[in-house]
Homo-oligomer: A and B are copies of this chain.
Amino acid sequence: MNNGKFNIAVAQSGGPTAAINSSLAGVFKAASEYDCIENIYGSINGIEGMINDELIDMKAMLTSEHEIELLRKTPSTILGSCRYKLPARDRDENVYIKIINTMEEHNIKAFFYIGGNDSMDTVMKLDAYCRAVGKDIKIMGIPKTIDNDLPVTDHTPGFGSAAKYVATTLQEIIRDSRVYSVQSITIVEIMGREAGWLAASTCVLRANGEPAPHLIYLPEADFTIEKYLDDVAEAMKKYRAVLIAVSEGIKPDKLPSEFGSELTDAFGHKYLSGIGKYLEKITAAHFGCKVRSIELNVMQRCGSHIASLTDLDEASQIGEEAVRSAMNGESGRMMIFQRISNAPYHVAIKSVPVEECANKEKMFPSEWINNEGNNVTTDALNYFLPLIQGESVVEYRNGIPVHFRINQ
């Protein structure tokens, strides 16, 4: 890289997680260690901040170790986010010119984008553009998503904390569901647009001898209403309070049109919602017992008070490594975790060409789904368990966790 002093920029994109600020803190810490890096800019609302020249001076924002620590434990994206899809260069080069202008105006020589598969599309296009027009600016991707659906990397920062929140909450719902003497069925709808990783992760409760959730349904397995009702009937023979974890992305064979919303986001993904309510209606009509559906909603992606320490630490580390990789001359690459071993749990952090990840989704492996298509295997349990280990020390003020804030 440049021998003189220069600046870098970092941005956050896509849906919030409990760990995305930890990756931001990692980028900040590693970049602060380089004498040649003068300013560390935060781009407001993802790539939009680079287009519109809306930057924040992160060294002015984070003035102490304590603030960095608070940032690490604050959920959601402190710099804001976006769902902006970079147009193809040959369709609208203007946007690229604006981004490069912002970079040149602020002497930015490296840009770090923390996000999911859609954000990696931006990294890929921006890197290709820089190469094409001969700009020596490094563009690096840092993975982030509670969906855990990025290819190549063993798992994604943010997923472990979401899984820990979901498991903890599900266990409390299980306690709640067992108080009355009557038969009941509780359906918990869990995020996962296309891939069922987060719903699958509820199997971790088994590690402590908890038989629930008794049924786990994922988008990766066929789902017919007939088989589902048979499964539930079977579970009701064994358990008074049946608990079902269902991924929002399952595709039942019969789905009334009201549940098939045609709304799509900028990347063409359908907004999903309501599968839990739909199953609740069908289940109650069929069995005539007490049936309740619960949506974990945005809480599952921002539950930092019960974050996984493993996740928060890894999120920082992968952010730090991204800076070191760029300083070593890398560009157009996404950082990944490579799992070395389960026990003891050990991962290596590497990088791969971003093309291998952008716009691609990693599904939950079919070999980890049981034959019945209604639960997951012990291999899945062994994969998930290390990711939810450890608890971060939450700072409380007035009985409430302290969040790092820069605006209202």
Contacts and interface: CB of A to CB of B under 8 A. Distances in A.
Interface of A: 16, 45, 48, 74-77, 80-83, 164, 167-169, 171-173, 175-181, 204-205, 207-208, 210-212, 239, 292, 294-295, 297-299, 301-306, 308, 385, 388-391, 394, 396-403, 405, 407-408
Contacts of A308: 399
Contact of A402 (B48, B77, B208, B303): B208
Contacts of A394: 391
Contacts of A305: 168, 172, 306
Nearest to A240: B408
A406 to B, nearest CB: 10
Contact of A207 (B168, B173, B179, B398): B398
Given A75-B172, A297-B294, A308-B399, A180 B80 contact: yes
Given A181-B45, A299-B173, A168 B16 contact: no
B176 A408 contact: no
A81 B207 contact: no
B175 A403 contact: yes
A201 to B, nearest CB: 11
Nearest to A84: B181
A202 B310 CA distance: 31
B302 A403 contact: no
B399 A175 contact: no
